[in-house]
Structures are given as C-alpha cells and as structure tokens.
Amino acid sequence: MTALTLSTAGAATLRADALVVGVAKSPKGGKGLVVAPGAEAVDKAFDGKLATVLETLGASGSEGEVTKVPSPSGLKAPVVLAVGLGSAPEKDEAYDAEALRRAAGCAARALSGVKKAAFALPVEAVEDAEAIAEGALLGAYAFTAYQEKGKDAKGPLAEVALLGGKPRDKAYKAAAERAVALAEEINRARDLINTPPNDLYPESFAAIATAAGKEHGIKVQVLDEKALVKGGYGGILGVGQGSEHAPRLVKLSYTHPKAEKTLALVGKGITYDSGGISLKPAGHNETMKCDMSGAAAVFAAVVTAARLGLEVNVTGWLALAENMPSGSAVRPGDVLRMYSGKTVEVLNTDAEGRLVLADALTRASEENPDAIVDVATLTGAMVLALGNRTFGIMANDDAFRTSIHEIAEEVGEQSWPMPLPADLRKGMDSPTADIANMGERMGGGLVAGLFLKEFVGEGITWAHLDIAGPAYNEGGPFGYTPKGGTGSAVRTLVKLAERTAAGDLG
C-alpha cells in the first residue's frame, strides 16, 4: 500500500522523485492554461512560463490529462508532472473535491514505479487535502498478486507527500488517517473482486473476513452449510447447492459503546456466477468473479467503520455462494422455501443474487436495525438503464433514497434514484409458490428491487444499491478508478455510517 505523509515543505525544496502540480483550462472567456494554486514556486522556477511550456507540449488542462517535463534548476524533484483539472473555477470559487480526487488518482497511476512523489495541488481547506490523499492512494492501486515479479516490473507509487497538509493540525491529521483507512479497505475490496474464483470462494472469503475481524475488533459469525440447513436458509442453500464450494452466511458486528443507532449492510457475494442451469453464454461469464462486489463493499465498509471508531453500530451480512451447473444444482421450476418461510419459484437460475440477498435481508431484519442497505451487482437491466459508471438506488422510503443519493454525490460516486413501481409486482406472481424470482423483462432492475422489498422486515427503512455497472471496470483506467474491481459503494456506505453516527440517518 502506498504510504501517505503530510508536509509543510515548499514545492521547490522538498526532495522527491517527482513533483505533481495542477493545470486547468482558463475560466469562461479566457484562453490558454492556468497554473493551479500550490504550484507557484514551480512556475517561478520556470520563470513564470510553466503554462507556456506545457501548452507547447500539447497540454490543454483537460481533466485527467498528464504531461511530464524535466525540472529546471531550482527544484529538488527531477520531474514535474502536470495533471489536468478541467475548467478552472470562477473567481472566489474553489476547485471541486472530485476534480482534485480524480487528478490525484491520474497522477499517482502515471507515477507507478516511483519511490516518492510530492503533490502540490490546490489545498484551500482540509476537505481538499483529504480528497487529494484519497485520490492518490486509490489511483496508485495495482493488482499484481498473480504476476511474475521480474526485474522490470513496476510496483505502485511508494509514497505520497501531500504539500499544504499541516501535519500538526488535528483536522488535517484526522483527514489523512481517514483517507488511509478508507483507501486501504477499498483496495482490499478491489483485491477480493480481482482474485480468481479458484482461490476466492465462500469458505475462503469467510476466512478472510474472520481474520480481519480479529485484527480490528469486529465480532464475526460464520454459518456453514450445516448451520444454514439447520436455520432454513433455503435461498442461499439453493443457489449454492450445485457447487463443490458450499455457501456461507457471514455476520460482521462492529459495535461502539456510545452508539445510539444501528445500521445493517447486506452484500451479495456470488464468488462466481456461471448462471447455473440457466447458463450464461460465452462473452458474459468471463468477468463473473466480480459478482461478489456487493459483499466486498459491505466487508470494506464495516472494517472502515471499525478503524475510524465511528459511534454507530454497523452489522455486515455477507451472503456467499457459488452459482454452478451440476447434477445437484437448482433447476428452473424448483421451489425454494426461504428463511422467511416464503416460497419462491425459481424461473431462472441466473437470477440468483436476489435469492441469497432475500435470506440475508430477512435475517438482518430480525435484529430490528434503524436502517438496512443492501449492495449487489444484481441486474444487467440496471447497466442498460444507467451505464457502466452509475449505480441505481431504490428504497421503501423516498427521503432515505434521496439521502443516499446526496451522500453518493458528495463522496464522488455516480448514482441515480430509481422507482419501485407497484404495478411491476404482479409479474412475479406464481401459480405454484408465494412469488417467482422473475417478472416482467422490461424494468428488470426495478423488478429485482421489488422482489427484495418482499423480504425486508415491516417498518424497517431499507435501500437497495444495484452496482452492476460500476463494480467492475472492463475498460481502461480513469481518474482514481483502475481496470477491474473498483470498490464501488464503499465510500457511500462509510459516509452513511458517519452521518448515522452524527444523528443524521436521512
């Protein structure tokens, strides 16, 4: 993991292997590049012509653009990396935190293999420092566990020195500690998502959660297949019965003695989704190791809450199973008796996530938390609706849905509130069971949300995050987002826990 230090040193005097500065497009009506605050000493070393030099090299200040130039005399770092911030803010306005976060991420990724980089990006408030730190630590991420480490292999940027960070200021220190804890747990979630399914399966995931619980004072309970059978968890068992790797339900309990509220988080943890008997076609199953991204997000959020010592009780439920076809697999037409006692007719075995979540939602409801949020790579329909970078939010309470949307926007995660139309419920009526696991094809993401709503306890505030789009990035990296597992929804869940601790559940 990349190290983070706060520094009061000047950009010209700090010894580092690279110096990161920000550049932007001129505000409306202006022309050319603008050197962002924090880089004044660097511009001076270029005789006030840093923008001109960069423009000569083709730099435009566009968001995510990276330009490297050799340092002139007067700077201790041998290389200056200018990263684009997009349009410069108008007079008396500051750079957006998300723009700083993305720029820092781009710079950190471009500096892989470098030992130490000094970041001289605009810091006008503690929130700016935290955004830069968070972006740099997330942008430096690389998953190399399965690659041979030859002499030419580049590791991630080893150290980020954040200039303007005020290391003796309590607020800045707390912001840096939060950024480190959050980034480390998001990167742990990314590692889990990227781990091949022959190594990450329900039992091994449960073991990782158990080890983390011991390290961070989180109580962990693991229900194995025998306990699941005894408890009547028909949804989780039904999905997992076709695999050699038996399912698990993992409960992570973080408690604080001063907590007045309890938040329950439920994560879909299908460690590999073949579709089961309703087999996915070629071209749709190669990345299905990522179908446990919801459980990874919940796991990361609970551990982060514990590391930050938040004054809120947070319980995480990881519904873990592997969905495989075999002679023992659940079949289309089978009826499962769920933990709630309801029966479900399985019309499509590839609509398995809602089955494991249903059992976990019912179990979580028994503890009567103040709110439940489930997170899942649940439907392709949500990707069709919102694209690859935005997750959908559904809820049984409009104010809670709005609150989560606002939180997601605040922390830089793209999201959009979605409805739960009552008329779509009829499509899940079954002549055989209480409900079917499929309904109308159009609006499939909303149908899945309506199915889950059936298993939430009466009177409990609940929200569902469908992260099928942003959970796994199959394209090139951008901002602080890598190729592969992204850790989507972790920052939203952690901020929700912080707001809940502050007495603002939404």
Q: Which two tokens stand for residue 457?
A: 């306890």
What is the rounded distance in angstroms from the CA atom of residue 269 to the CA atom of residue 291?
Answer: 6
- CA distances in angstroms from 69 to 15, 19, 132, 190, 465, listed in the order given: 17, 10, 21, 32, 43
What is the rounded distance in angstroms from the CA atom of residue 451 to the CA atom of residue 6?
Answer: 48
Q: CB of 403 within 8 A of CB of 390?
A: no
Q: Which two tokens stand for residue 29?
A: 């009506």
Q: CB of 404 within 8 A of CB of 392?
A: no
Residue 354 among the catalytic residues: yes
User: Of residues 190, 354, 425, 499, which has the active-site annotation?
Assistant: 354
What φ, ψ does residue 74 adopt, rounded to 5°? 110, -10
As a whole number of angstroms, the longest Cα–Cα distance in the chain is 80
User: Of residues 173, 280, 342, 389, which has the active-site annotation?
Assistant: 280
Residues 6+ apart with CB under 8 A from 446: 381, 394, 418, 419, 420, 421, 424
Q: What share of the chain is helix, strand, coil (3-state, %, to 5)?
A: 35, 20, 45
What is the rounded distance in angstroms from the CA atom of residue 246 to the CA atom of residue 367?
Answer: 26
Q: Provide the residue type at 159 as one letter.
A: E
Residue 214 among the catalytic residues: no
- List active site positions: 280, 354
